[in-house]
Amino acid sequence: LNQQEQFTTDPLTTDSYTQAIIVGQKGDQILCRIGARDGSISIKESKWAAPIEVTDTDVAPSGNIEDEKQTRFPLGSVIEVKVLNLESESIKLGLEQAPLAQGALVAVDPFSGQIKAMVGGYDFKESQFNRAIQAKRLPGSAIKPLIYAAALDRGYTPATIILDTPLIYENLEIETGKVEEWKPKNYEQKFYGPTRFRFALAHSRNVVTIKILEDIGVNYAANYVKKLGLETPQQRDLSMALGSTAVTPLEILTAYTVFANGGILVPPTYITRIRDRNGRILESIDPADFSNGMAADQRLIRKPPRRVISPETAYLTTNILESVVREGTGWRAKALKRPSAGKTGTTNDLKDAWYIGFIPQLACVSWVGYDQERPLGKNETGSRAAAPAWVNFMQEAEKQFPVKNFRIPDTIEFHPIDKKNGLLLAEDSEKAYFEVFAPGTAPTKMSGDKQLKAKDFFRLDMEGTL
């Protein structure tokens, strides 16, 4: 009774959070009490709760809801709940748990730059820190599409073959005189040999990405991602390929919108109208015309949109990111059942998990991590920890948009290739895979049935491509 009295101080409202005491079970419902009010929770919708070990017989008397030793819902337990419906005599509740980890989500119209949704954390009352725009975190593999786009503008194609083999880099520590070795590895702790450019990004191959970055040049890549919208200065070494420079969720999402809208950098817009109490418009930004960027309020001043990459490069990158969803680490996004593109991001130490993706009309980023940086846990990758939130949000947001394919520039070419070596095949070949190319970049050599020769592997290893 003393516990119940503690829960009666705040009035109950729909969508509010409070505490309840478990008092029994009826059918598929857990019966609860909040002060003098009765409530119920669906067992089916609460199965995400992990079982706990019950040792106190006063808390878990005989007749417990499940097994007396291992249960999700011990009688007498105080639990966190969300008020779903107050209209019935018994309040409809949902089981809740304040997470130890935090999260952020931002959704942007890629053509206007208007921010359509923003979540800066779990509970604003607990923390006013807006992680969506203030938290700088390592993007991990989420940086890779930007590196691959840079490579496309340096002569790579989706069909280029790169050798996935072990790498060893040595670094001399001047202060100690010791030589430290860096041996980058793939997440799977394996090497895969000849790998197509498209496949490498779809499956987030670390070693291939490092080889690509080394080939195109770190300075070139750093300048390239800056023009895509990453204003935070990049760490100019090969670790850049694995996302070694912290960025905000909105910052990296802005870069992805360049792919979604065909190559235009559109700075994000927070405010479109300011009205006084009489409805008179004091400030206005027309999403169709940001050319002047003028406003009396400094918070409204923005840079005008500008083309930063070609429509062809934007489409090729988007098309490869569709493969991330169809066959790679972004497979959870297939739940949308419409064309989408995206990329997971996971740091090597599992401290940050990302999913950044878009449909033709909307781009969104989801991030999960601890404020005080520490590992999220075993296998808590971007696909597992961040993508589900992205999918849940987009499944609601997409309802306002018709199903559309990404626009294909008229200059894009389609050619049949051999997946094994990236060379051309006859259109009627059973092995033919139709790949996309910027004009004039398709391979000119025909593929044969022969495997790569030893000298080809040597050239791959020395030059990085075939």
Q: CB burial class (10 A; 0-12, 13-18, 19+) of residue 276?
A: exposed
pTM (2 decimals)? 0.82
Between CA 230 and CA 248 the distance in angstroms is 9
Token pair listed for 22? 């478990």
CB 116 within 8 A of CB 362: yes
**Best CA proximity match to 241, nearest among 255, 259, 222:** 222
Helix, strand, coil shares, percent, the chain, to 5: 25, 25, 50
**3-class SS at 191?**
coil
| Residue 71 CB coordination number (10 Å) | 19
Helix H or strand E segment including 349:
none
CA within 13 Å, CB half, 246: 10
- pLDDT one-digit tens code per residue, 86-95: 877 789 999 9
**3-class SS at 177?**
coil
Domains and CATH numbers, the chain: 2-96 (2.40.50.140), 102-267+306-400 (3.40.710.10), 269-304 (no CATH), 413-463 (no CATH)
Between CA 437 and CA 441 the distance in angstroms is 6
262 CA to centre of own chain: 20
Between CA 157 and CA 436 the distance in angstroms is 8
**Best CA proximity match to 73, nearest among 50, 90, 39:** 50
Token pair listed for 26? 């009826």
DSSP strand pairing (432-437 vs 341-346): unpaired
pLDDT of residue 417: 94
Which are the contacts of 438, defined by CB distance < 8 A and separation ≥ 6?
A: 152, 157, 310, 312, 313, 316, 411, 412, 413
**3-class SS at 348?**
coil
- pLDDT one-digit tens code per residue, 173-221: 777 778 888 999 999 999 999 999 999 999 999 999 999 999 999 999 9
Which are the contacts of 154, defined by CB distance < 8 A and separation ≥ 6?
A: 215, 216, 220
Tens digit of pLDDT at every position of the chain (466 positions): 454 445 445 678 888 888 999 999 888 899 999 988 899 999 888 888 877 665 555 444 444 544 533 467 888 888 889 899 887 778 999 998 888 899 999 999 999 999 999 999 988 878 899 999 999 999 999 999 999 999 999 999 999 999 999 999 988 777 777 888 899 999 999 999 999 999 999 999 999 999 999 999 999 999 999 999 999 999 999 999 999 999 999 999 999 999 999 999 999 998 888 999 999 999 887 665 444 444 444 444 567 889 999 999 999 999 999 999 999 999 999 999 999 999 999 998 899 999 999 999 999 999 999 999 999 999 999 999 999 999 999 999 999 999 999 999 999 999 999 999 999 998 888 888 899 999 999 999 998 755 555 445 545 554 555 5
Between CA 217 and CA 151 the distance in angstroms is 9
Between CA 355 and CA 391 the distance in angstroms is 9
Helix H or strand E segment including 293:
none
**3-class SS at 395?**
helix
Between CA 144 and CA 200 the distance in angstroms is 10
